[in-house]
């Protein structure tokens, strides 16, 4: 039974959490992480208890862009299941390529990835299938877009159409700001080719929530709701980042709300993709704003969130390998997904200067001390191993996750973990989950 080999594509905190969860599956013997980081290698531990992984994990030094090498690796190591973390290899068609090679892979095909890779595609799709989202218009001509801004009635957000690592969304308070944002995207090409087309969107107000869900193309199972903290500084100040911390489940999100999101947003999205002949298998991530008129979609992502994944997987009681297999084999309706009661909090420790430029190679200390803490897992993100030990190698360096019977306990434990770890200039937010502490 415990003979399966799993592979995780990517190198961040999300991928560490995915590898960790797969290594807890009773079916899995070995996890490969490609290319992984300093945290994604560990020996098998048959006596694992609590939050410890049991199966071994090891890194393979192949970049996520080298799809033929990934296919060759999956064949050579007889990988039973590959889970893809980041959007770039998904948009490059990794799932299509693995499927064509007869390999089992979890993630949407490149046609379905358009939901994330093209904001114009996503908006037109939502309009066609009556999925609630803000008003919008799409332009590939700068003059026409600029004229539109002069006459549009609502406050706008300007979005570069293509992938822009979460940075291609510009919030505008007035027409002058909107014109400047439009120039930045379409004329100065601040986001390169991603700015060939823009979406000009109605600016919405309200609290945000990410609802992620597993999908086998036809059945959708929502994951417990996680709330990310995108701004770099406390009190939501400073520029947007990939995410500075998260907690799950978000106490203000009721099961009824999630059910309504399933019915009005997630299921219609699956049905629409199936109707178009490209059933959506993988994780569907809906970034929502809860407006006075109900939840509206801000964006779709076609993958697990980072750091949301690090906050939800420690609470997952059902075998992630089994859930992923069920998605691939179109039998998700037969799986009962169970969550541990309580809450999980995740705190990101970032390099000084992130999300702008930052130093690398700073020695990280205290990881051993944090590892002994109760109900705590330290997920690595931007780290590398050198002869001298673990050093920083990215903007987001670590994600410290802790579980507790309630959110306050989980947060206290996670902060205790962060307090034991250090690197020069380490930055973390002190107000993650503050409303609920
Ligand atoms: P996106 O990458 O589309 O999720 O946008 C990133 C962030 O920009 C979201 O998390 C929101 O905070 C904000 N945002 C995006 N679209 C809108 C909108 N239509 N109205 C207000 N805020 C938005
Ligand atoms: N945490 C935001 C994202 O994964 O897109």
CB 213 within 8 A of CB 284: yes
E strands present in 97-197: 105-106, 136-139, 156-160, 169-171
Counting ligands in written order, the one closest to the CA of 241 is: 2
Residue at token pair 């979406």: 199
- Å from CA of 298 to ligand 1 middle: 5
- Å from CA of 54 to ligand 2 middle: 28
Cβ neighbourhood burial of 49 (10 Å; 0-12, 13-18, 19+)? exposed
Q: What tokens does 16 get?
A: 């560490």
Q: How far apart are CA 262 and CA 256, in angstroms?
A: 10
The two domains 4-106 and 343-437 share their CATH topology (first three levels equal)? no
Burial profile 32-41: b = 16 or more Cβ within 10 angstroms, e = fewer: bbbbbbbbbb
The structural domains of the chain, with segments of one domain joined by +, span 4-106, 135-202, 343-437
On whether the pTM is more than 0.75, the answer is: yes
Q: How far apart are CA 306 and CA 323, in angstroms?
A: 19
Please say whether the dihedral angle defined by the alpha carbons of residues 326, 327, 329 and 330, taken in this order, is positive or negative: positive
- Å from CA of 151 to ligand 2 middle: 33
- Å from CA of 77 to ligand 2 middle: 31
Choice from 298, 300, 306, 355 to test ligand 1 binding pocket (greatest atom count within 8 A of CB): 298
- Å from CA of 59 to ligand 1 middle: 35
* 3-class secondary structure, 169: strand
Choice from 87, 166, 312 to test ligand 2 binding pocket (greatest atom count within 8 A of CB): 166
CA 111 to mean position of chain CA atoms: 19
At residue 355's C-alpha, the angle toward residues 16 and 82, to 5°, is 25
Which of 426, 422, 427, 375 has its CA nearest to residue 401? 375
Which of 351, 350, 344, 349 has its CA nearest to residue 401? 344
Counting ligands in written order, the one closest to the CA of 163 is: 1
**Ligand 1 interacting residues, C-beta cut-off 6 A:** 134, 157, 166, 169, 201-204, 208, 230, 287, 298-299
Fold designation for 343-437: 3.90.600
Specify the residue with its C-alpha closest to ligand 1, atom 1. Answer: 299
Q: How far apart are CA 161 and CA 356, in angstroms?
A: 22
Q: How far apart are CA 380 and CA 421, in angstroms?
A: 12
pLDDT at 384: 98
Q: How far apart are CA 286 and CA 122, in angstroms?
A: 11
E strands present in 86-193: 105-106, 136-139, 156-160, 169-171
Q: One digit per residue, pLDDT tens: the chain, 437 residues?
A: 569 999 999 999 999 999 999 999 999 999 999 999 999 999 999 999 999 999 999 999 999 999 999 999 999 999 999 999 999 999 999 999 999 999 999 999 978 999 998 999 999 999 999 999 999 999 999 999 999 999 988 899 999 998 877 678 899 999 999 999 999 999 999 888 888 899 999 999 998 898 999 999 999 999 999 999 999 999 999 988 999 999 999 999 999 999 999 999 999 999 999 999 999 999 999 999 999 999 999 999 999 999 999 999 999 999 999 999 999 999 999 999 999 999 999 999 999 999 999 999 999 999 999 989 999 999 999 999 999 899 999 999 999 999 999 999 999 999 999 999 999 999 999 999 988 87
- Å from CA of 309 to ligand 1 middle: 20
Counting ligands in written order, the one closest to the CA of 291 is: 1
Minimum-distance ligand 1 atom for the alpha carbon of 168: 2
Burial profile 63-86: b = 16 or more Cβ within 10 angstroms, e = fewer: ebeebeebbebbeeeebbbbbbbb
pLDDT at 437: 76
- Å from CA of 129 to ligand 1 middle: 21
CATH number of the domain at 4-106, please?
3.40.50.20
Q: How far apart are CA 272 and CA 295, in angstroms?
A: 19
Specify the residue with its C-alpha closest to ligand 2, atom 3. Answer: 305
**Ligand 2 interacting residues, C-beta cut-off 6 A:** 228, 242-243, 301, 305-306, 308
- Å from CA of 328 to ligand 1 middle: 31
Cα dihedral 414→420→424→426 (10° resolution): 10
Minimum-distance ligand 2 atom for the alpha carbon of 14: 4
Please say whether the dihedral angle defined by the alpha carbons of residues 135, 139, 145 and 148, taken in this order, is positive or negative: negative
Cα dihedral 43→47→84→160 (10° resolution): -100
CB 171 within 8 A of CB 160: no
Choice from 287, 293, 295 to test ligand 1 binding pocket (greatest atom count within 8 A of CB): 287
- Options 3.30.365.10, 3.40.50.970, 3.30.1490.20, 1.10.150.120; CATH for 135-202 is 3.30.1490.20
- Å from CA of 204 to ligand 1 middle: 8
pLDDT at 1: 58
pLDDT at 164: 79
Residue 238 sits at φ, ψ, to 5 deg, of 85, 180
């Amino acid at each position: 039974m415990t003979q399966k080999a799993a592979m995780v594509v990517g190198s961040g905190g999300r991928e560490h959490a995915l590898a960790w969860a797969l290594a807890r599956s009773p079916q899995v013997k070995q996890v490969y992480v490609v290319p992984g980081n300093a945290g994604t290698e560990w020996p098998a531990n048959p006596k694992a208890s609590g939050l410890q992984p049991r199966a071994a994990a090891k890194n393979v030094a192949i970049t996520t862009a080298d799809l033929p090498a990934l296919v060759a690796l999956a064949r050579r190591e007889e990988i039973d299941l590959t889970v893809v973390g980041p959007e770039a290899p998904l948009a490059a068609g990794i799932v299509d390529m693995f499927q064509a090679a007869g390999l089992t892979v979890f993630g949407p095909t490149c046609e379905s990835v358009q939901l994330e890779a093209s904001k114009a595609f996503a908006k037109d799709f939502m309009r066609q299938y009556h999925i609630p989202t803000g008003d919008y218009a799409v332009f590939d001509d700068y003059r026409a877009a600029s004229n539109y801004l002069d006459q549009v009635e609502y406050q706008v957000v300007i979005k570069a159409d293509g992938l822009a690592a979460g940075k291609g969304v510009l919030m505008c308070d007035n027409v002058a700001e909107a014109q400047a944002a439009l120039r930045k995207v379409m004329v100065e090409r601040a986001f390169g080719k991603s700015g060939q087309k823009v979406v000009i969107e109605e600016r919405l107000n309200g609290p945000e929530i990410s609802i992620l869900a597993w999908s086998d193309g036809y059945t959708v199972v929502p994951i417990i709701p996680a709330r990310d903290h995108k701004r770099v500084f406390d009190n939501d100040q400073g520029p947007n980042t990939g995410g500075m911390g998260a907690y799950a489940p978000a106490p203000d999100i009721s099961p009824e709300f999630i059910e309504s999101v399933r019915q009005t947003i997630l299921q219609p999205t699956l049905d629409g993709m199936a109707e178009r002949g490209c059933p959506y298998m993988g994780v569907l991530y809906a970034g929502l704003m809860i407006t006075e008129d109900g939840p509206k979609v801000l964006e779709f992502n076609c993958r697990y969130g980072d750091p949301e994944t690090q906050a939800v997987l420690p609470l997952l009681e059902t075998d992630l390998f089994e859930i992923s297999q069920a998605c691939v084999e179109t039998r998700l309706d037969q799986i009962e997904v169970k969550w541990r009661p309580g809450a999980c909090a995740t705190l990101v420790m970032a390099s000084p200067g992130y999300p702008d430029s930052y130093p690398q190679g700073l020695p990280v200390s205290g990881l051993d001390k944090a590892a002994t803490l109760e109900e705590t897992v330290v997920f690595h993100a931007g780290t590398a191993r050198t002869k001298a030990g673990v050093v920083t190698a990215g903007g987001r360096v670590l994600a410290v996750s802790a579980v507790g019977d309630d959110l306050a306990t989980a947060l206290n434990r996670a902060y205790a973990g962060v307090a034991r770890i250090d690197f020069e200039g380490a930055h973390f937010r002190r107000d993650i989950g503050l409303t609920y502490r």
